[in-house]
Protein backbone atom coordinates (compact mmCIF):
# COMPACT_ATOMS: atom_id res chain seq x y z
CA UNK A 1 0.00 0.00 0.00
CA UNK A 2 1.24 3.47 -0.91
CA UNK A 3 0.36 6.78 0.68
CA UNK A 4 0.04 9.22 -2.19
CA UNK A 5 -3.71 9.65 -1.52
CA UNK A 6 -3.60 8.79 2.15
CA UNK A 7 -6.78 9.91 3.96
CA UNK A 8 -8.46 11.23 0.82
CA UNK A 9 -12.03 10.45 -0.19
CA UNK A 10 -12.65 9.86 -3.90
CA UNK A 11 -15.71 9.30 -6.08
CA UNK A 12 -14.98 7.74 -9.49
CA UNK A 13 -17.75 7.46 -12.08
CA UNK A 14 -17.60 4.68 -14.66
CA UNK A 15 -15.38 2.64 -12.33
CA UNK A 16 -17.09 -0.68 -13.05
CA UNK A 17 -14.55 -1.42 -15.78
CA UNK A 18 -11.80 0.06 -17.95
CA UNK A 19 -9.93 3.22 -17.00
CA UNK A 20 -12.29 3.96 -14.09
CA UNK A 21 -11.85 0.55 -12.53
CA UNK A 22 -8.06 0.58 -12.77
CA UNK A 23 -8.05 4.11 -11.33
CA UNK A 24 -10.29 3.07 -8.42
CA UNK A 25 -7.98 0.18 -7.58
CA UNK A 26 -4.87 2.35 -7.85
CA UNK A 27 -6.37 5.21 -5.78
CA UNK A 28 -7.33 2.70 -3.08
CA UNK A 29 -3.85 1.15 -3.11
CA UNK A 30 -2.49 4.66 -2.53
CA UNK A 31 -4.64 5.13 0.56
CA UNK A 32 -7.85 6.72 -0.73
CA UNK A 33 -11.32 5.63 0.37
CA UNK A 34 -13.18 5.17 -2.91
CA UNK A 35 -16.87 5.40 -3.76
CA UNK A 36 -17.08 3.09 -6.78
CA UNK A 37 -19.85 4.10 -9.17
CA UNK A 38 -21.12 2.85 -12.51
CA UNK A 39 -24.42 2.45 -14.33
CA UNK A 40 -23.56 -1.30 -14.36
CA UNK A 41 -24.19 -2.28 -10.74
CA UNK A 42 -22.65 -5.76 -11.12
CA UNK A 43 -19.36 -4.40 -12.44
CA UNK A 44 -19.29 -1.68 -9.76
CA UNK A 45 -19.74 -4.38 -7.12
CA UNK A 46 -16.84 -6.36 -8.62
CA UNK A 47 -14.50 -3.38 -8.50
CA UNK A 48 -15.53 -2.70 -4.91
CA UNK A 49 -14.87 -6.30 -3.90
CA UNK A 50 -11.49 -6.30 -5.64
CA UNK A 51 -10.51 -3.24 -3.58
CA UNK A 52 -11.76 -4.50 -0.22
CA UNK A 53 -10.32 -8.00 -0.81
CA UNK A 54 -6.94 -6.34 -1.35
CA UNK A 55 -7.28 -4.54 1.98
CA UNK A 56 -8.46 -1.17 0.61
CA UNK A 57 -11.46 0.96 1.58
CA UNK A 58 -14.36 1.21 -0.88
CA UNK A 59 -18.13 1.39 -1.02
CA UNK A 60 -20.29 0.68 -4.04
CA UNK A 61 -22.90 3.20 -5.20
CA UNK A 62 -24.25 2.52 -8.72
CA UNK A 63 -25.51 5.64 -10.53
CA UNK A 64 -26.40 6.84 -14.01
CA UNK A 65 -24.42 10.06 -14.52
CA UNK A 66 -26.99 11.37 -17.02
CA UNK A 67 -29.50 11.76 -14.15
CA UNK A 68 -28.57 14.70 -11.93
CA UNK A 69 -30.57 13.43 -8.96
CA UNK A 70 -28.59 10.15 -9.02
CA UNK A 71 -25.32 12.08 -9.22
CA UNK A 72 -26.34 14.29 -6.28
CA UNK A 73 -27.18 11.14 -4.30
CA UNK A 74 -23.79 9.66 -5.22
CA UNK A 75 -21.91 12.63 -3.79
CA UNK A 76 -24.20 12.66 -0.72
CA UNK A 77 -23.27 9.00 -0.18
CA UNK A 78 -19.56 9.84 -0.15
CA UNK A 79 -20.14 12.47 2.53
CA UNK A 80 -22.43 10.17 4.56
CA UNK A 81 -19.88 7.35 4.48
CA UNK A 82 -16.65 9.26 4.85
CA UNK A 83 -17.55 12.79 6.01
CA UNK A 84 -16.01 14.74 3.11
CA UNK A 85 -15.07 14.63 -0.59
CA UNK A 86 -11.54 15.33 -1.81
CA UNK A 87 -11.50 13.93 -5.36
CA UNK A 88 -14.35 13.84 -7.87
CA UNK A 89 -13.20 11.89 -10.93
CA UNK A 90 -15.80 12.41 -13.69
CA UNK A 91 -14.67 9.54 -15.86
CA UNK A 92 -17.79 7.82 -17.24
CA UNK A 93 -18.10 8.36 -20.98
CA UNK A 94 -17.77 6.86 -24.42
CA UNK A 95 -19.33 6.67 -27.90
CA UNK A 96 -19.21 4.67 -31.10
CA UNK A 97 -18.46 6.30 -34.48
CA UNK A 98 -21.39 7.83 -36.43
CA UNK A 99 -21.76 9.68 -39.72
CA UNK A 100 -22.50 13.18 -38.40
CA UNK A 101 -25.45 14.08 -40.63
CA UNK A 102 -27.11 10.77 -39.79
CA UNK A 103 -27.03 11.25 -36.02
CA UNK A 104 -30.60 11.14 -34.67
CA UNK A 105 -31.89 13.49 -31.98
CA UNK A 106 -31.99 10.53 -29.59
CA UNK A 107 -28.38 9.54 -30.25
CA UNK A 108 -27.26 13.18 -29.99
CA UNK A 109 -28.94 13.52 -26.57
CA UNK A 110 -27.47 10.19 -25.45
CA UNK A 111 -23.88 11.08 -26.38
CA UNK A 112 -24.06 14.62 -24.99
CA UNK A 113 -25.94 13.37 -21.91
CA UNK A 114 -23.21 10.90 -21.01
CA UNK A 115 -20.11 12.86 -22.04
CA UNK A 116 -21.09 16.41 -21.12
CA UNK A 117 -24.20 16.58 -18.88
CA UNK A 118 -22.85 13.81 -16.66
CA UNK A 119 -19.56 15.63 -16.15
CA UNK A 120 -21.33 18.88 -15.31
CA UNK A 121 -23.64 17.16 -12.82
CA UNK A 122 -20.69 15.48 -11.11
CA UNK A 123 -18.66 18.68 -10.98
CA UNK A 124 -21.57 20.74 -9.64
CA UNK A 125 -22.47 18.19 -6.96
CA UNK A 126 -18.82 17.95 -5.87
CA UNK A 127 -18.41 21.74 -5.71
CA UNK A 128 -21.40 21.96 -3.34
CA UNK A 129 -19.31 19.92 -0.88
CA UNK A 130 -15.88 21.30 -1.74
CA UNK A 131 -16.80 25.00 -1.49
CA UNK A 132 -17.71 24.89 2.23
CA UNK A 133 -14.77 22.49 2.75
CA UNK A 134 -12.43 25.00 1.08
CA UNK A 135 -10.55 22.20 -0.69
CA UNK A 136 -10.98 19.57 -3.36
CA UNK A 137 -9.90 18.26 -6.71
CA UNK A 138 -12.05 17.77 -9.81
CA UNK A 139 -10.76 15.40 -12.47
CA UNK A 140 -12.35 14.96 -15.88
CA UNK A 141 -11.63 12.43 -18.62
CA UNK A 142 -11.78 14.04 -22.06
CA UNK A 143 -10.45 12.43 -25.26
CA UNK A 144 -8.18 13.24 -28.19
CA UNK A 145 -11.51 13.72 -29.99
CA UNK A 146 -12.15 16.69 -27.71
CA UNK A 147 -8.79 18.31 -28.53
CA UNK A 148 -8.95 17.94 -32.31
CA UNK A 149 -11.17 16.27 -34.87
CA UNK A 150 -11.56 12.51 -35.11
CA UNK A 151 -13.65 11.33 -38.04
CA UNK A 152 -17.00 9.87 -36.92
CA UNK A 153 -16.83 11.40 -33.47
CA UNK A 154 -18.18 14.94 -34.02
CA UNK A 155 -20.84 14.85 -31.29
CA UNK A 156 -18.62 13.00 -28.81
CA UNK A 157 -15.78 15.41 -29.62
CA UNK A 158 -18.08 18.39 -29.11
CA UNK A 159 -19.06 17.12 -25.67
CA UNK A 160 -15.48 16.22 -24.76
CA UNK A 161 -14.29 19.70 -25.82
CA UNK A 162 -17.02 21.23 -23.65
CA UNK A 163 -15.81 19.52 -20.49
CA UNK A 164 -12.27 20.81 -21.06
CA UNK A 165 -13.67 24.31 -20.84
CA UNK A 166 -15.64 23.38 -17.73
CA UNK A 167 -12.42 22.34 -15.98
CA UNK A 168 -10.66 25.56 -16.99
CA UNK A 169 -13.60 27.64 -15.78
CA UNK A 170 -13.79 25.80 -12.47
CA UNK A 171 -10.03 26.16 -12.00
CA UNK A 172 -10.34 29.94 -12.26
CA UNK A 173 -13.62 30.39 -10.40
CA UNK A 174 -12.82 28.10 -7.47
CA UNK A 175 -9.02 28.36 -7.33
CA UNK A 176 -9.27 31.04 -4.61
CA UNK A 177 -11.13 28.47 -2.47
CA UNK A 178 -8.37 25.85 -2.74
CA UNK A 179 -10.16 23.77 -5.38
CA UNK A 180 -8.28 22.46 -8.42
CA UNK A 181 -9.72 21.10 -11.69
CA UNK A 182 -7.78 19.19 -14.33
CA UNK A 183 -8.38 17.01 -17.36
CA UNK A 184 -6.73 13.81 -18.52
CA UNK A 185 -6.95 13.14 -22.25
CA UNK A 186 -6.48 9.49 -23.19
CA UNK A 187 -5.33 8.44 -26.61
CA UNK A 188 -6.35 4.93 -27.74
CA UNK A 189 -6.38 2.92 -24.51
CA UNK A 190 -7.07 -0.81 -24.50
CA UNK A 191 -10.18 -0.77 -22.27
CA UNK A 192 -13.30 -2.88 -22.92
CA UNK A 193 -15.08 0.21 -24.32
CA UNK A 194 -12.23 0.98 -26.70
CA UNK A 195 -11.98 -2.63 -27.91
CA UNK A 196 -15.69 -2.39 -28.82
CA UNK A 197 -15.05 0.88 -30.66
CA UNK A 198 -12.00 -0.32 -32.57
CA UNK A 199 -13.72 -3.52 -33.67
CA UNK A 200 -16.79 -1.61 -34.91
CA UNK A 201 -14.97 -0.51 -38.10
CA UNK A 202 -13.03 -2.98 -40.27
CA UNK A 203 -9.30 -2.25 -40.52
CA UNK A 204 -9.45 0.45 -37.84
CA UNK A 205 -7.20 -1.37 -35.36
CA UNK A 206 -4.12 -1.53 -37.61
CA UNK A 207 -4.72 1.98 -38.93
CA UNK A 208 -4.99 3.47 -35.46
CA UNK A 209 -1.98 1.64 -34.07
CA UNK A 210 0.10 2.83 -37.01
CA UNK A 211 -0.94 6.43 -36.31
CA UNK A 212 0.36 6.45 -32.74
CA UNK A 213 3.99 7.62 -32.48
CA UNK A 214 4.50 4.95 -29.76
CA UNK A 215 3.07 2.38 -32.28
CA UNK A 216 0.86 0.75 -29.65
CA UNK A 217 -2.35 1.31 -27.75
CA UNK A 218 -2.03 2.52 -24.18
CA UNK A 219 -3.08 0.69 -21.04
CA UNK A 220 -5.73 1.83 -18.54
CA UNK A 221 -2.92 1.88 -15.94
CA UNK A 222 -1.18 4.61 -17.93
CA UNK A 223 -4.23 6.87 -17.58
CA UNK A 224 -4.73 5.89 -13.93
CA UNK A 225 -1.11 6.83 -13.11
CA UNK A 226 -1.66 10.33 -14.54
CA UNK A 227 -5.00 10.70 -12.74
CA UNK A 228 -3.28 9.64 -9.51
CA UNK A 229 -0.65 12.38 -9.89
CA UNK A 230 -3.28 15.03 -10.68
CA UNK A 231 -5.42 13.93 -7.72
CA UNK A 232 -2.52 13.90 -5.28
CA UNK A 233 -0.90 16.75 -3.37
CA UNK A 234 2.13 16.32 -5.68
CA UNK A 235 0.00 18.32 -8.16
CA UNK A 236 -0.97 20.98 -5.59
CA UNK A 237 -0.07 23.85 -8.00
CA UNK A 238 -1.47 22.16 -11.14
CA UNK A 239 -4.92 23.41 -12.14
CA UNK A 240 -6.85 24.19 -15.32
CA UNK A 241 -4.71 21.99 -17.55
CA UNK A 242 -5.25 19.12 -19.97
CA UNK A 243 -2.73 16.29 -19.87
CA UNK A 244 -2.69 14.15 -23.01
CA UNK A 245 -1.66 10.54 -22.32
CA UNK A 246 -1.60 9.29 -25.85
CA UNK A 247 1.77 7.91 -26.96
CA UNK A 248 2.62 11.20 -28.70
CA UNK A 249 -0.54 11.83 -30.77
CA UNK A 250 -1.35 15.32 -29.43
CA UNK A 251 2.12 16.58 -30.34
CA UNK A 252 1.92 15.55 -34.00
CA UNK A 253 1.43 18.13 -36.71
CA UNK A 254 -0.91 16.39 -39.16
CA UNK A 255 1.05 16.93 -42.34
CA UNK A 256 1.94 14.03 -44.68
CA UNK A 257 5.36 12.64 -43.71
CA UNK A 258 7.72 10.06 -45.23
CA UNK A 259 7.60 6.54 -43.76
CA UNK A 260 10.95 6.12 -41.97
CA UNK A 261 10.25 3.06 -39.75
N1 LIG B 1 -10.22 3.91 -23.98
C2 LIG B 1 -9.96 4.90 -24.81
O3 LIG B 1 -9.31 4.72 -25.82
C4 LIG B 1 -10.43 6.30 -24.50
C5 LIG B 1 -9.94 7.33 -25.30
C6 LIG B 1 -10.35 8.62 -25.03
C7 LIG B 1 -11.22 8.87 -23.98
N8 LIG B 1 -11.69 7.83 -23.24
C9 LIG B 1 -12.61 8.15 -22.15
O10 LIG B 1 -12.18 7.48 -20.99
C11 LIG B 1 -13.31 7.28 -20.14
C12 LIG B 1 -13.34 5.83 -19.69
O13 LIG B 1 -13.51 5.03 -20.84
P14 LIG B 1 -13.05 3.50 -20.94
O15 LIG B 1 -12.18 3.42 -22.13
O16 LIG B 1 -12.59 3.00 -19.64
O17 LIG B 1 -14.47 2.88 -21.36
P18 LIG B 1 -15.31 1.63 -20.86
O19 LIG B 1 -16.50 1.60 -21.76
O20 LIG B 1 -14.46 0.43 -20.79
O21 LIG B 1 -15.77 2.07 -19.39
C22 LIG B 1 -16.70 3.10 -19.23
C23 LIG B 1 -17.56 2.82 -18.02
O24 LIG B 1 -18.55 3.87 -17.92
C25 LIG B 1 -19.78 3.26 -17.58
N26 LIG B 1 -20.92 4.09 -18.00
C27 LIG B 1 -21.44 4.20 -19.24
N28 LIG B 1 -22.53 4.99 -19.22
C29 LIG B 1 -22.67 5.39 -17.93
C30 LIG B 1 -23.62 6.22 -17.28
N31 LIG B 1 -24.64 6.79 -17.95
N32 LIG B 1 -23.47 6.44 -15.96
C33 LIG B 1 -22.46 5.86 -15.27
N34 LIG B 1 -21.54 5.06 -15.83
C35 LIG B 1 -21.65 4.83 -17.16
C36 LIG B 1 -19.77 1.93 -18.28
O37 LIG B 1 -20.72 1.02 -17.72
C38 LIG B 1 -18.33 1.49 -18.12
O39 LIG B 1 -18.15 0.74 -16.95
C40 LIG B 1 -14.54 7.72 -20.94
O41 LIG B 1 -14.90 9.03 -20.57
C42 LIG B 1 -14.04 7.70 -22.36
O43 LIG B 1 -14.78 8.58 -23.19
C44 LIG B 1 -11.31 6.55 -23.48
- Mutation probe of ligand 1 site: the residue of 12, 14, 196 with most atoms within 8 A of C-beta: 14
pLDDT digits (tens, 9 = 90+) for 23-50: 999 999 999 999 999 999 999 999 999 9
Task: Give the Å distance between the CA of 94 and the centre of ligand 1.
Answer: 5
Q: For 151-195, how does the pLDDT look when each residue is reduced to its tens digit (9 = 90+)?
A: 999 999 999 999 999 999 999 999 999 999 999 999 999 999 999
This prediction's pTM: 0.98
CATH 3.40.50.720 matches 9-187+219-245 = yes
259 pLDDT band, cuts 50/70/90, is confident
The domain spans of the chain are 9-187+219-245
Ligand 1 center from residue 191 Cα (angstroms): 8
Closest of 109, 214, 195, 201 to residue 151, by C-alpha? 201
Q: What is the Å distance from ligand 1's center to 156 Cα?
A: 12
How far is C-alpha 153 from the chain's CA centre? 17
Whether the predicted pLDDT of 228 surpasses 80: yes
Sheet holding 33-37, edge to edge: 57-60, 33-37, 9-13, 87-90, 136-141, 179-186, 242-245
Residues with Cβ < 8 Å from 107, sequence gap 6 or more? Answer: 98, 155
Distance of CA 20 from the midpoint of ligand 1 (Å): 7
Residue 253's region, left for phi above 0, alpha for psi from -120 to 50, else beta, is beta
Supply φ then ψ for residue 144, to 5 degrees. -55, -30
Q: Mind listing the pLDDT tens digit for each residue in 54-113?
A: 999 999 999 999 999 999 999 999 999 999 999 999 999 999 999 999 999 999 999 999
Give residue 206's pLDDT: 93
Residues near ligand 1 with C-beta < 6 Å?
13-14, 16-20, 38-40, 43, 64-66, 91-94, 114, 141, 143, 186, 188-189, 191-194
| Residue 174 bears catalytic tag | no
Mutate to test the pocket of ligand 1, among 26, 193, 224 (most ligand atoms within 8 A of CB): 193
Amino acid sequence: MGERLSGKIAVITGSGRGIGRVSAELFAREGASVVVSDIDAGNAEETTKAITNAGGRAVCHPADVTDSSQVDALVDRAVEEFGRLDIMFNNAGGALPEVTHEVTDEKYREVVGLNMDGVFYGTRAALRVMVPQRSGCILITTSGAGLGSVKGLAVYGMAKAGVVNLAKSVAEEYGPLGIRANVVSPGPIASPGFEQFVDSVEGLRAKMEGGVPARRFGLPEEIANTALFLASDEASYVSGVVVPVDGGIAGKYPTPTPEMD
